[in-house]
Chain A
């Protein structure tokens, strides 16, 4: 049994909330530089150049890369041999988020209730997902998730007869419909299988995976590459102005499902990809 104090969790979460908003996920700058070489459209190139300039200013001057510093998604992997001491894990994460968003001059974008819409003023609560894992480590992955991309996401309960073609069509149609507003170039998380509740989380989980890290299953790895090509063939381009670069990455996560079901979900992430990780 390993003991982890809530104070350590709070501090780490606070620090990472600030860092990810000033410094995009490692590797994003290099990827944008690479796709700038591939882009043919003048407007598209202009967008990519501004994105690169923005990344540098945000990093050097500690200004949030995007003003939508998002709602905080916490993906927690809790070793079953860990004991949390000094308080409740969820409270510790929320205290860290509140502290990071207030001290880091980040935007508070969470309202308490969908209808009264009163701002909580510290960006809490975070959306917290906890999964138990073997061992005595606590891993917390944090994402600052903007609404521009999140609002364009979709979920469908397809039938087994719809099959692979049905899933591909749903993904492509969702990109056609909402891709422009999600701030392309995009990272696209796709969940397939599970149940209604699980498939959305699979799509979100896919966004936490590293850049261009393919699914371990060869079938899905190939499908990811096919979807990247097909989405880029749509010609949406950076900011939707038309061009060659629409998807920076497509990541698929799958789960077993009912004999009668074929759930699919698409979760968009914009080029301002803000993800960090804490291991305690």
Chain B
């Protein structure tokens, strides 16, 4: 298994070189957003307003962390299911977003949009929130504080462990995995 270290913001060459199944370690800044924040992003885009951060070259992490204990940077912070954000993906890719991190599979429309705009989807291990919290070195709420755990955070991460699940060629780790290991007809 290839292990690739990448640093945000991502340029097109790096994004295009990533392939399904690659083990990747992300460094630099990533932004958190899940259901409620995405709804506000799309409302803002529709009204012609600015987003809380410029998505160009950036990665959004679908996560709603637990509250940190005093002295801790962040609480448990594993990925949430990505399919709920599928309907919000394309408008953000249009603004230059290059990657998303979550768990579970994406819709065909989301995969097609990633091919069209040259973006990738990373999967982090669902249920490994304690481990992932250790790779987050700084966390700062930058928007929608009223949303609580769903607020938008700017995170600084080091060696954040993910696997490429959809690449810019439209490959899908979930389809390929089952094809390889299934002992029955699908």
Interface residues of A (CB under 8 A from B): 40-43, 46-47, 50-51, 53-54, 57-58, 61-69, 105-109, 117, 119, 146-148, 151, 176, 180-181, 183, 230, 233-237, 239-244, 270-272
Contacts and interface: CB of A to CB of B under 8 A. Distances in A.
A153 to B, nearest CB: 13
B63 interface: yes
B99 interface: no
A54 B65 CA distance: 15
Given A64-B66, A64-B75, A43 B163 contact: yes
A242 B77 contact: no
Given A63-B76, A148-B80, A181-B103, A47 B182 contact: no
A176 B23 contact: no
Which 6 A-B pairs have CB atoms at the shortest separation, nearest pair first? A242-B177, A235-B181, A235-B182, A181-B104, A272-B127, A183-B126
Contacts of B78: 66-68
Contacts of A240: 104-105, 173-174, 177-178
B163 A46 contact: yes
Interface string B74-112: 011110110100000000000000000001110000000
A115 to B, nearest CB: 13
B151 to A, nearest CB: 12
Interface stretch (B11-19, B52-60, B128-136, B137-145): B128-136
B176 interface: yes
A63 B103 CA distance: 20
B7 interface: no
A220 B76 CA distance: 38
Interface residues of B, number: 49
A237 B77 CA distance: 23
Contacts of A181: 81, 83, 103-105
A105 B149 CA distance: 12
A240 B20 CA distance: 13
A105 B180 CA distance: 41
B131 A180 contact: no
B125 A65 contact: no
Contacts of A58: 76, 129-130
B183 A65 contact: no
Contact of B129 (A43, A66, A108, A244): A66
A205 B139 CA distance: 39
